[in-house]
Amino acid sequence: MEKDGKTWVVVQLNEFGEVLAERDELRRKIEKLFPGKEIFIPYSKVEFKGRVTKLNVIEGYIFIESGLEEKEYFALSELPFIDNILHTSSNRGMNLNTIRNGDVEKLKDNLQKLIVADLELGMKVFVNSGVYRGIEGEVVGFTEDKKSAFVYIELRTLKAIRAIPTYILDIQGGDDV
């Protein structure tokens, strides 16, 4: 679809896949199959003051960076949590359809807006993707455009503040207020 630049494969989840996405188990399963490929699951969970809110911008779908052989993506449809891979069929077989990076970036921006609406200074967050995946920290500020939060993190001997995109943050806790 897009000759110069990143494109994404659209994967439709079944109900089981949606449950795995909500539990953040789906990301690990997909990352094992596509190491090094970016995965966007347009979902985040906000857990604050005893209430859990699920945020999503397009329910039932995930996006995997393209660039591998088509058969590797089509193999996903054999998994028990995948319903379909976006494709077209012809008399010559199935052809993988991809979407432009700009379309996925819009989804990321929309998810960021939902998260930022709930994100406050002092909130505990969990990083669900990227270099700091699995790390918990505390929000200590925001970039001017609010696309990233400054998060205080502690890793063994490292104590630092890092700018982390809000769309990969899950809000945690808050019961102590």
Tokens of 130: 């990227």
The answer as to whether 145 is a domain residue is yes
- The CATH number assigned to the domain holding 137 equals 2.30.30.30
Alpha helices in 95-153 (DSSP H): 101-118
The answer as to whether 1 is a domain residue is no
Domain membership of residue 117 as a residue range: 7-172
pLDDT confidence of 157, banded at 50, 70, 90?
confident
> Strand 61-65 relative to strand 7-13: parallel, antiparallel, unpaired?
antiparallel
The answer as to whether 19 is a domain residue is yes
The answer as to whether 2 is a domain residue is no
The answer as to whether 95 is a domain residue is yes
Question: d(Cα 31, Cα 114) in Å, to the nearest integer?
Answer: 25
pLDDT digits (tens, 9 = 90+) for 73-130: 999 999 999 999 999 988 888 889 999 999 999 998 888 888 777 788 898 999 988 8
Longest dimension (CA), the chain: 62
The answer as to whether 44 is a domain residue is yes
Domain count across the chain: 1
Report yes or no: 121 and 139 within 8 Å, Cβ to Cβ: yes
The answer as to whether 67 is a domain residue is yes
Look at 23 and 6; give whichever has higher pLDDT.
6
The answer as to whether 177 is a domain residue is no
Determine the pLDDT at residue 5. 86
What's the full length of the chain, in residues? 177
pLDDT digits (tens, 9 = 90+) for 18-76: 999 888 789 889 999 999 999 999 988 777 666 677 777 888 999 999 999 999 999 99
- If we measure between CA atoms, which residue out of 80, 75, 174, 161 comes closest to residue 120? 174
